[in-house]
């Protein structure tokens, strides 16, 4: 099972890259309409575009940022389980987490209604919590 649990992690990495390109593919044309990157202030950051670009454009950037936050815990947990020996339940929880995060990304980037977005986040967090508890259990008493 060690290898099987790595596949959902690899899928989430690739999905994060998809979100990066989706973000760039919507932000760059919007910035071009405003005069292009050449007019950007020196040292400017993506956060500086809040209130400058339409909310619907920034939603992709918000989601990309989210994919750089909680999923870091997912990656660490998956690595622990891969090293210690993942069970089929671990693999199912990992896939549940990844599928829910992808649905969350699509929802946040397009519709972005908070009640549904929060529910997706909560469900994925429950999957991650289950994985973290299983990782803790796998490591307790070893050493």
111: domain CATH number is 1.20.120.550
Using alpha carbons, select from 28, 109, 32, 103 the residue that is nearest to residue 65: 109
35 in Cβ contact with 117 (< 8 Å):
no
Q: Which pLDDT band, with edges at 50, 70 and 90, does 49 fall under?
A: confident
Please state the domain count of the chain: 1
Q: Which structure tokens are listed for 127?
A: 């999957």
**CA–CA–CA angle 29, 118, 89 (5° rounding):** 110
Packed helices 71-84 and 88-110: angle between N→C axes, nearest 10 degrees: 160
Report pLDDT for 35.
Answer: 79
- pLDDT band for position 45 (50/70/90)? confident
At 41 the pLDDT is 67
Model confidence at 139: pLDDT above 80: yes
- The whole-number average pLDDT for the span 36-46 is 70
pLDDT higher than threshold 90 for residue 81: yes
Residue 66: domain span: 2-139
- Span 71-86, mean pLDDT? 97
| Inter-residue contact 131 to 77 (CB < 8 Å) | yes
For the stretch 90-123, pLDDT in tens is 999 999 999 999 999 999 999 999 999 999 999 9
Is residue 33 packed enough to be buried (19+ CB in 10 Å), middle (13-18) or exposed (0-12)? exposed
């Amino acid at each position: 099972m060690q290898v099987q649990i790595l596949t959902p992690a690899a899928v989430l990495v690739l999905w994060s890259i998809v979100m990066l390109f989706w973000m760039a593919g919507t932000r760059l044309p919007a910035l071009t309409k405003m005069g292009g990157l050449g007019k950007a202030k020196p040292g400017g950051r993506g956060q500086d575009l809040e209130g400058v670009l339409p909310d619907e454009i920034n939603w992709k950037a918000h989601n990309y940022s989210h994919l750089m936050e909680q999923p870091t815990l997912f990656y660490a947990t998956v690595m622990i389980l891969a090293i210690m020996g993942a069970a089929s339940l671990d693999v199912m929880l990992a896939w549940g987490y990844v599928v829910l995060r992808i649905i969350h990304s699509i929802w946040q980037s397009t519709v972005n209604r908070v009640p549904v977005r929060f529910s997706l986040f909560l469900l994925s967090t429950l999957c991650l919590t289950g994985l973290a508890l299983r990782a803790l259990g796998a490591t307790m008493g070893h050493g």
